[in-house]
Structure 1
Amino acid sequence: MLLPAAHAAVFSDFDVARPFFYGAIMFFLLSVVVGIATSNYRPKSVPRSQLAALVGAYIWLPILFAVPFDQAVKDTTFANAWFEMVSSFTTTGVTQYDTAGRLAPSLHLWRALVGWMGGFFVLMSAVAVLAPLNLGGVEVLSGRVPGRGAQGAGQITHAAGPADRMIRHSATLFPAYFGLTLLLWVCLLIAGETGLTAFCYALSTLSTSGITNGQPMATATGGLISEVLVFAFMALAITRRSLPGAVLVDRNRSIFADHEVQLASFFLILVPGLLFLRHWLGALAENDILNAGAAFRALWGGLFTTMSFLTTTGFESADWQDARMWSGLNSPGLVLLGLAMMGGGIATTAGGLKLLRVYALARHGEREMDRLVHPSSIGGGGDGERRLRQGGAYVAWIFFMLYAMTFAIVVAALSLRGLEFEQGLVLTVAAVTTTGPLAVLATEIPIRMIELSVSEKVILGGAMIVGRVEILAILALLAPGVWRR
């Protein structure tokens, strides 16, 4: 909170600086008191305590983040401030304040900073909390029951407590996370972006939150150079191997042989390629059919936007409109929804179903097709591949069904509140996959979040938390088998 306070004070915006400065002091003292009060606390069940703390962080921290934001924004309610902070901390990035000049620059900085902290919290919790409990996508590779702990997790838990593991993993992850953010910020400044705009782009790219300071990526000053830089750093959310200290059950596999990288590459070729080729396959009478410049802009717009929504970031390329006109698709909302639902890599800041689960289901389907032709055949690829096609695919299918049930419940809840089905579906996918910009780009008429009722925002806020934590982790928290550990 001291960073937006200092930023606002430099520009003499003391109405914004004071709430953040006082909030920093108040919540620092509160944290110290809570830390002292719980210093000797020893939970009966360490796994359940970790999962409860993980879920509690997404319930409690946005309330703290919303206090100075509510005081600094004129003519708003605390419910709106809470929804904005839930959206930021879960790296969803959807905003209610879409009117130009509605928020001060320091408030945009706070939104992007909360999203960036939320991205690091996801990385840290995935490695230090979810992976030892065989959750967060690791269960697909290990073949063990989710929530019961992977092989060797018991020894790890006894050798080092939860706090020790979090400190150790944070000391490994944070320098890389901070350094990459700083590097992208400097590169964007060199490309021609202004200071705050470049900083918000850098924070949002590494956290895949898609939060800006009111200037969309499509209108970036740096143009194509800025988009190329952001594209390169968004690729970090495809695989967990891009950062140190990652969850590596299959350590012997190179990054080029990584299943998630291969599947993401397939979609990065398929989706822009189909949009590009549809120009001729649809026999559209365009004047620039032989215009090489228009063809390149259309291809790049499709490639950048595909990467953006596959990693659940939600940035739109300046050439995305050219890609839509080139392909003849007036509203390619289903394409964006499908990409966001697949999501990025496990143990990354991306949301969605995750590429590894999609890959496991695809390989299982391929194996079943082979068995229809050759019932007595034996699947190759070694023990790891067989485990992925069998137990991994089984767990991935369970997660997929829970994912679909979550969509159905949230859509039904929004429909009962009077929201139209199309809007409810888009908002549900945007919330559960943590891809907030879908509310603007996936429909012909952008959905204005400020017009939603308080109950609808509470439903969407809960969906964001469920999508970020993942339903398997919540079920593991409620399972009696975890209580006895």
Structure 2
Amino acid sequence: MSLNFPVIIKTLSFVTILVGVSMIPSALVSVFYAEYDVAILFFMIIVPVLSIGMAVSVRIRAKASRLRLREGYLAVALSWLLASLIGCLPYLTTGTIDGFINAFFEAVSGFTTTGASIVTDVEILPKGILFWRSFCQWLGGMGILVFAISILPALGIGGQNMAKAETPGISLSKMAPRITDSAKILYIIYIIFTLAAVIFLKLGGLGFFDSVIAALGSMSSGGLSNYNEGISHFNSGYVEFIAAFFTVLACINFTLYYNIIQGKWKQFFSNSELRTFLIILAVGGLFIAANLWLTGSYDSIGESLRHGLFQSTAFITTTGHFSANYNLWPAFSKAMLLLLMLIGASSASTGGGIKVIRIIALFKLIHKGIYMRLHPSAVVPVKIQGKIISSETVSGITSFLSLYAFVFVLSVLVLSLENLDFLTTFSTVAATLNNVGPGMEIAGPGGSFAMFSGFSKIYFCFLMLMGRLELFTIALLFTPSFWNPDR
């Protein structure tokens, strides 16, 4: 069965409109801060983008139909690519970033909530551009198409398969009867948390603009900042605590919050992924803090705990905030940070990484394998949360982990051609594939990806998109059977 391209193009036209509308707040920020030249350039982008999006939407007469799964995958991949292509225009027109590849890298990093940057001095950027960088990651945090589904039900196109392709770990249909209602619930929770983060950061003495940028970076798990030193610029334990707290909230499975709304508190607190996520975060942070204190990296155990717990939170949530220059930390602490970076956040959250639920399943499969060696005839089902995992789910998890390992190793080999030190190469692959942002050594705290070649930057964009869309959405496009399902 051939792909229904009109329905895909119509979907892309609405994404075009969405990105165009999303630029309006940035233009208004420029006006507020008297950056009138930047505001004019924003509107010079907004008008044609909206015009093209609306014209295509009206002209394409796609039959109102259910978007099939194959079309959903293609629509999602093209939507993120299109959003990034449009999103890089403000950087190019304002001259704040030189070259298409650099601007595209910055846009992809924002929309995928990676938070990696090629900008060496963000503090000289106009306020409107700084807001655009942060707003891109906030919009990408919950997913561009989940947002589109929530506010554009007039599409007349079934959205479940788009949501399934974009957020494999979440089943919106289990939250509310209609996909649009579920998407709205997610974004209402997301917006409430973001506004609360702004308020609490403002109470900590931050200016309103700083509070907004920090809140957008924390809730999206993107971590982009308007200061070169990131969160460490404020040198405030309170600000670090608030940023970490809301980052953790953003990296808990959002469907669990719906349980709270329904009064199902027991389901929230008994969730195995949530408990495991918090345990890994706490234990990892305490191990790092102990290592920092015992090696004399900090004079007091209080400072060691502050930075150890904050940095472990920043890495397991894939936010990439930094409260200190962890490049100077002992090898054990850096190894722990890399491990947390790979594990990642909970499923159906704004965070990236392998995801805790897959780590739980992996260890249960390992346990089953060991047990079966001792008891070959035993029937040992794999259970999570007291429920038996289907063979299809087990196959999906093992396939994901295998593909992840293949892509990771291949990427380390490809990027080693840059001839940088191994830790920089390894950590930047981990940082982009897991949507963390900063890596280590050259690309560590306060560093940038500017030193990489154009080829490597494009490759990093590929990794960021693969990581954000959980590998298979992109990988499927490279299989012959996707384009010829009859094979």
Q: Which TM-score tier does this pair reach, normalised by the shorter chain? A: 0.7 to 0.9
Q: 2: distance between equivalents of 1:308 and 1:99? A: 22
Equivalent residue for 2:4?
none
Task: Indicate conservation of the 8 Å contact 1:135/1:472, yes or no.
Answer: no
Moved more, 170-179 or 471-480: 471-480
Which amino acid is 1:467 matched to?
G
Equivalent residue for 1:359?
360
Task: After TM superposition, give the deviation of residue 133 of structure 1 in Å.
Answer: 6.5
Q: Does 1:64 align with 2:86?
A: yes
Residues 81 and 439 of structure 1, relative CA distance in 2, 3 Å threshold: farther
Equivalent residue for 2:253?
240
Aligned counterparts, 1:155-304, within 5 A: 165=179, 167-214=180-227, 216-221=229-234, 223-241=236-254, 254-278=267-291, 288=299, 294-304=300-310
1:381-410 deviation per Cα after TM superposition (whole angstroms, max 9, x unaligned): 979646338654443222111001111222
Percentage of pairs with the same residue: 23
Q: Does 1:13 align with 2:62?
A: no
Task: After TM superposition, give the deviation of residue 205 of structure 1 in Å.
Answer: 1.0
Gaps of at least 5 residues in structure 2 are: 1-22, 150-158
Task: Indicate conservation of the 8 Å contact 1:344/1:354, yes or no.
Answer: yes
TM-score with structure 1 setting the length: 0.81
Aligned counterparts, 1:426-445, within 5 A: 426-439=427-440
Residues 74 and 386 of structure 1, relative CA distance in 2, 3 Å threshold: closer
1:233-259 deviation per Cα after TM superposition (whole angstroms, max 9, x unaligned): 11224432466569xxxx997122212
1:187-215 deviation per Cα after TM superposition (whole angstroms, max 9, x unaligned): 11111111111101111111100011125
Q: Partner of 2:347: helix, strand, or coil?
A: coil
Task: Indicate conservation of the 8 Å contact 2:118/2:450, yes or no.
Answer: yes
Aligned counterparts, 1:362-401, within 5 A: 362-372=363-373, 379=380, 385=386, 387-388=388-389, 392-401=393-402
Equivalent residue for 1:103?
125
Task: After TM superposition, give the deviation of residue 92 of structure 1 in Å.
Answer: 0.5
Moved more, 70-79 or 369-378: 369-378
Residues 435 and 75 of structure 1, relative CA distance in 2, 3 Å threshold: closer
Moved more, 343-352 or 471-480: 471-480
Match of 2:323 among 303, 317, 324: 317
Which amino acid is 2:237 matched to?
L
Residues 134 and 383 of structure 1, relative CA distance in 2, 3 Å threshold: farther
Task: Indicate conservation of the 8 Å contact 1:83/1:458, yes or no.
Answer: yes
1:366-391 deviation per Cα after TM superposition (whole angstroms, max 9, x unaligned): 23334455556665897964633865
Equivalent residue for 1:410?
411
Moved more, 55-64 or 394-403: 394-403
Q: Partner of 2:53: helix, strand, or coil?
A: helix
Q: 1: distance between equivalents of 2:385 and 2:96? A: 56
Task: After TM superposition, give the deviation of residue 334 of structure 1 in Å.
Answer: 2.4
Task: Indicate conservation of the 8 Å contact 2:435/2:467, yes or no.
Answer: yes
The higher relative CO (CA closer than 8 Å, separation ≥ 6) is in 1
Equivalent residue for 1:144?
none
Q: 2: distance between equivalents of 1:472 and 1:253? A: 33
Residues 190 and 59 of structure 1, relative CA distance in 2, 3 Å threshold: same
1:265-292 deviation per Cα after TM superposition (whole angstroms, max 9, x unaligned): 2212321222344468x6x57995xxxx
Task: After TM superposition, give the deviation of residue 63 of structure 1 in Å.
Answer: 0.9
Task: Indicate conservation of the 8 Å contact 2:341/2:434, yes or no.
Answer: yes
Residues 220 and 255 of structure 1, relative CA distance in 2, 3 Å threshold: farther
Which amino acid is 1:171 matched to?
K
Equivalent residue for 2:99?
77
Residues 441 and 396 of structure 1, relative CA distance in 2, 3 Å threshold: farther
Which amino acid is 2:461 matched to?
G
1:315-359 deviation per Cα after TM superposition (whole angstroms, max 9, x unaligned): 1235x76xx98xx71673322221111111111111111110000
Q: Partner of 2:320: helix, strand, or coil?
A: coil
Q: Partner of 2:114: helix, strand, or coil?
A: coil
Equivalent residue for 1:468?
468
Task: Indicate conservation of the 8 Å contact 1:268/1:306, yes or no.
Answer: yes
Q: 2: distance between equivalents of 1:369 and 1:220? A: 49
1:160-217 deviation per Cα after TM superposition (whole angstroms, max 9, x unaligned): 7xxxx3x433322222211211111011111111111110111111110001112544
Q: Partner of 2:88: helix, strand, or coil?
A: helix
Equivalent residue for 1:457?
457
- Give the count of matched residue pairs: 448
Q: 2: distance between equivalents of 1:22 and 1:86? A: 21
Moved more, 346-355 or 118-127: 118-127
The ranges of structure 1 where at least 4 consecutive aligned residues each deviate by more than 6 angstroms after the TM superposition are 150-153, 380-384
Which amino acid is 1:459 matched to?
Y
Q: Partner of 1:451: helix, strand, or coil?
A: coil
Task: Indicate conservation of the 8 Å contact 2:364/2:382, yes or no.
Answer: no
Q: Partner of 1:438: helix, strand, or coil?
A: coil
Residues 204 and 448 of structure 1, relative CA distance in 2, 3 Å threshold: closer
Task: Indicate conservation of the 8 Å contact 1:361/1:389, yes or no.
Answer: no
Moved more, 47-56 or 370-379: 370-379
Residues 193 and 286 of structure 1, relative CA distance in 2, 3 Å threshold: closer
Task: Indicate conservation of the 8 Å contact 2:173/2:182, yes or no.
Answer: no
Which amino acid is 1:18 matched to?
I
Task: Indicate conservation of the 8 Å contact 2:314/2:320, yes or no.
Answer: yes
Moved more, 38-47 or 26-35: 38-47
TM-score with structure 2 setting the length: 0.81
Q: 2: distance between equivalents of 1:185 and 1:135? A: 26
Q: 2: distance between equivalents of 1:398 and 1:266? A: 26
Q: 2: distance between equivalents of 1:113 and 1:120? A: 12
Equivalent residue for 2:70?
48
Q: 2: distance between equivalents of 1:75 and 1:255? A: 44
1:29-49 deviation per Cα after TM superposition (whole angstroms, max 9, x unaligned): 111112112343457962111
Residues 50 and 363 of structure 1, relative CA distance in 2, 3 Å threshold: same
Q: 2: distance between equivalents of 1:34 and 1:134? A: 23
Moved more, 173-182 or 55-64: 173-182
Task: After TM superposition, give the deviation of residue 313 of structure 1 in Å.
Answer: 0.4
Moved more, 360-369 or 425-434: 360-369
Task: Indicate conservation of the 8 Å contact 2:166/2:469, yes or no.
Answer: no
Which amino acid is 2:468 matched to?
R
Equivalent residue for 2:9?
none
Which amino acid is 1:311 matched to?
T
Residues 169 and 197 of structure 1, relative CA distance in 2, 3 Å threshold: same
Moved more, 191-200 or 387-396: 387-396
